[in-house]
Structure 1
Amino acid sequence: MLNFRDGPFRGLTRRSLLQSTAGLLSVSCVAEATRAWAEERLAGTGEVVVFSWGGAFTDGVRRNVYEPFTKATGIEVVDVVADLAEPQVKAMHQAGRVDWDIAYVATGKYPEMHESGMFVPIDYSLWDQESLEGTPPQTRFVDAVVVETSGMVLAYDSRAFPKGGPQNWVEFWDVAKFPGPRGLFGSTGRTNIQFALMAAGVAHKEIWPLTDDKLDRAFEKLNEIKPHISKWWTAGGEAPQLLNNREYAMCSIYDGRAMAAIRQGAPIKFAWDGAILGYDYATVLKGGPNTSNAQKLIAFLNRAQIAAGWTQGTNYPGPNTNQIKYLPPDLASQVSVNPENASRCIVEDPAWLMGKRPDGKINAEYIQERWLAWRAA
């Protein structure tokens, strides 16, 4: 598991975040430096075929990453849109015909695909020193690198709590002090189980692994809050909409969704204490048609200024902490790579989740089975 209190996060202070304003004054110079570096190190021809989730995500990444990459290197980026990359990557691998070059893969899907040999090693020799120093080693694997981080955070309607709403999961469970309808993500149970353990007094560092005794304790705590859940949301856009409509007084929500809603004027506030962080990895597909160009795009998007562009375009940051100095101060204070926020978060343990129980079931599958049974009861 990652420990955001160590490594590259050490030395990033409140002062350095405030000084990010000064960094904005020299963005044009930095952009020129990035372009010159890319022209020298990453120039090429042809194209690179990249998976994308479509919609606002694709628009933001194309504007802030892909178009600057093409302008600097001469390599065209071709988007292929799908809801999920993993099923198609597996199908292409099995068929022996890989049409994509880069796929973004979820944490829980990566181990199996890695073991099956679907990816080629990342060429870190193409990365600049600032990218390597700013990206924690634990997020850089042999054949994958974290491309973005999403956090499930606690949000509330500021109109319902004008003097301040709940700031942690203990307070989320406190229906007397903070009355009102609540919402939690209904499709999968892992985040809610962790929230319940924190509400029961389990320290952040003691959450993982999710042993059977901890699961029993979590479901006992979930029994307390279940009557106060007015709706289990399942789509990412539901949570901010239901808050905005006053159907929720508070709920769990993806940090990117919350930030997007706040930018549009929604009366939403959120807290990082006890947030659950999840990752998507950028991978270069074995057998893809443009592997060399794929390596160059991976190196480009992990450069600090480009990483900041990714964050501004998607609201979900990659792990490069050096991007902080290129972000607007209001965004720098809200993202998970801000060390003050990161220190309050919990990072799931994908190796444990993919591990097998004595009965042969994978831990993640067992937890989900218990969750669905509890929901249905």
Structure 2
Amino acid sequence: MTEQDSRNHPDGTVSRRSLLQSTAGLLSLPLVVNTTVAFAGEKLAGTGEVVVYSYGGSFTEKLRKSVFDPFTKATGIKVVDVTADLAEPQLKAMHEAGRVDWDIAIVTPQGYQELHDGRMFIPIDYSLWGDEALKGVPGSARLTDAVLAFQSATVLVYDERAFPKGGPKSWADFWNIKEYPGPRGLDGSLGYRSMLFALMADGVAHKDLWPLTDDKIDRALKKLDEIKPHITKWWTAGGEPIQLLINREYALTSAFDGRALAAIKQGIPLRMAWEGATIGDNYWTILKGGPNGANAQKFLAFINRAEMAAAFTQGAGYPAPNLNQLKYLPADLVPLISINPDNEVKTVRFDVAWFVAKRPDGKTNVDHIQERWLAWRAQ
């Protein structure tokens, strides 16, 4: 799956390639696992293996060092990697064939909903989790048969060289050409994010963004008319906006947080403005009929400990959900991730259920929005 293809996800998730390239520039990982190893030795010890889907490449390599190998060391259970661009097609194929070869998969929210409705997952056994993990992982992240794996954000990013006296702090600032001059970029593939940014720039409060009804779409497109002449390039792949900032072809743009984080960790003078960033989620699931269900339960209990969540976040470049991990992360990383409370309070979550719901004409809301977007872009 390419980054272009990932634009089909109305939840803010990023593509496999975006994840792989985002992690490439992160610093080496400390393995903060001592207390977790002790916990696992008491409650999670086992034998055999667990088959875990992930994205491959540097993403899986980093997770093996930071999470998978410590899990094996602590529990005696071997992690077997399987990789694919997207899990959902593979899961459907295994279900139809009546043979499930994997134990754990990461799925997008809309993929989760479809597969959940098809009864392809088993409930998560939260009784295996320690008290710390149950308190650290918010209840909203712990579904009956899925648990949040990581979240990604689309955020305003600017070149500090273009704004040495201080850059934009919000989407209203993004639209303020006079005070923050310079070439701009926005996502050109799907329009829903740019519509949300336009509405926020036009004064719509976060709580009033949903549902994205026709009158709000009209208002968003009218606001986008104002900024359209100043968009020097509508980016279509996750790596573009950061590279164009580096090349000084953009002064400010929307971009994926993991991409920006990797660049900043390499010393590139970029800054993220979290006000109005849009958040998308990705879920761990345990597959019904998988060969090692008991070990899969132990794996999810292990990686959601605070120490392992911190290791996951450093390896993936996108944060795992346990908020207690903040005390284990490097001090210079905490301000750069979405679960930092100072950032989280400024973000907007997608209403995925509304996006994938069907309208009276049979189209989904996201398809309707995309039609409006393409018509506007063609003007």
Q: TM-score, normalised by structure 2?
A: 0.89
Aligned-pair distance for 1:192? 1.1
Write the distance in 1 (CA, Å) between the matches of 2:226 and 2:51: 49
How do residues 161-180 of structure 1 correspond to structure 2 at under 5 angstroms? 161-180=163-182
- Match of residue 261 from structure 1: 263
User: What are the superposed Cα offsets for residues 24-68 of structure 1, whole Å, 9 maximum, x if unpaired?
Assistant: xxx999732210111111111111111111222212211111010
Write the distance in 2 (CA, Å) between the matches of 1:68 and 1:34: 9
Contact kept in structure 1, 2:133 and 2:322, CA below 8 Å: yes
Structure 2 vs 1, CA of residues 336 and 29 (structure 1 numbering), >3 Å: closer, same or farther? Answer: closer
Task: Give ranges in structure 1 of 5+ residues lacking alignment.
Answer: 1-26
How do residues 1-377 of structure 1 correspond to structure 2 at under 5 angstroms? 31-377=33-379
Q: Secondary structure at the match of 1:333?
A: helix
Aligned-pair distance for 1:375? 2.4
Aligned-pair distance for 1:73? 0.8
Structure 2 vs 1, CA of residues 226 and 122 (structure 1 numbering), >3 Å: closer, same or farther? Answer: same
Write the distance in 1 (CA, Å) between the matches of 2:370 and 2:91: 24
Write the distance in 2 (CA, Å) between the matches of 1:189 and 1:99: 37
Q: Secondary structure at the match of 2:315?
A: helix
Write the distance in 2 (CA, Å) between the matches of 1:280 and 1:59: 19
Write the distance in 2 (CA, Å) between the matches of 1:28 and 1:199: 40
- Match of residue 7 from structure 2: none
Sequence identity, in percent?
A: 62
Letter paired with 1:74 = G
Write the distance in 2 (CA, Å) between the matches of 1:30 and 1:154: 31
Structure 2 vs 1, CA of residues 188 and 29 (structure 1 numbering), >3 Å: closer, same or farther? Answer: closer
Aligned residues: 351
Contact kept in structure 1, 2:32 and 2:311, CA below 8 Å: no
Write the distance in 1 (CA, Å) between the matches of 2:205 and 2:143: 28
Q: Secondary structure at the match of 2:333?
A: helix
Write the distance in 2 (CA, Å) between the matches of 1:49 and 1:157: 42
Aligned-pair distance for 1:368? 2.1
Contact kept in structure 1, 2:30 and 2:311, CA below 8 Å: no
User: What are the superposed Cα offsets for residues 64-103 of structure 1, whole Å, 9 maximum, x if unpaired?
Assistant: 1101001111111111121111111112112212111111
Write the distance in 2 (CA, Å) between the matches of 1:369 and 1:320: 38
Contact kept in structure 1, 2:185 and 2:241, CA below 8 Å: yes
Write the distance in 1 (CA, Å) between the matches of 2:121 and 2:40: 24
Q: Secondary structure at the match of 1:184?
A: strand
Aligned-pair distance for 1:187? 2.1
Contact kept in structure 1, 2:148 and 2:284, CA below 8 Å: yes
Letter paired with 1:91 = A
Write the distance in 2 (CA, Å) between the matches of 1:218 and 1:66: 44
Deviating beyond 4 angstroms after TM superposition, the runs of 4 or more aligned structure 1 residues are: 27-30
Letter paired with 1:238 = E
Q: Secondary structure at the match of 1:308?
A: helix
User: What are the superposed Cα offsets for residues 219-278 of structure 1, whole Å, 9 maximum, x if unpaired?
Assistant: 111122222212222222222111111111111111111111000111111111000010
Aligned-pair distance for 1:376? 3.0
Structure 2 vs 1, CA of residues 246 and 28 (structure 1 numbering), >3 Å: closer, same or farther? Answer: closer
User: What are the superposed Cα offsets for residues 83-139 of structure 1, whole Å, 9 maximum, x if unpaired?
Assistant: 111111112112212111111111222211110111111111111111111111111
Write the distance in 2 (CA, Å) between the matches of 1:58 and 1:254: 19
Write the distance in 2 (CA, Å) between the matches of 1:90 and 1:301: 26
- Match of residue 14 from structure 1: none
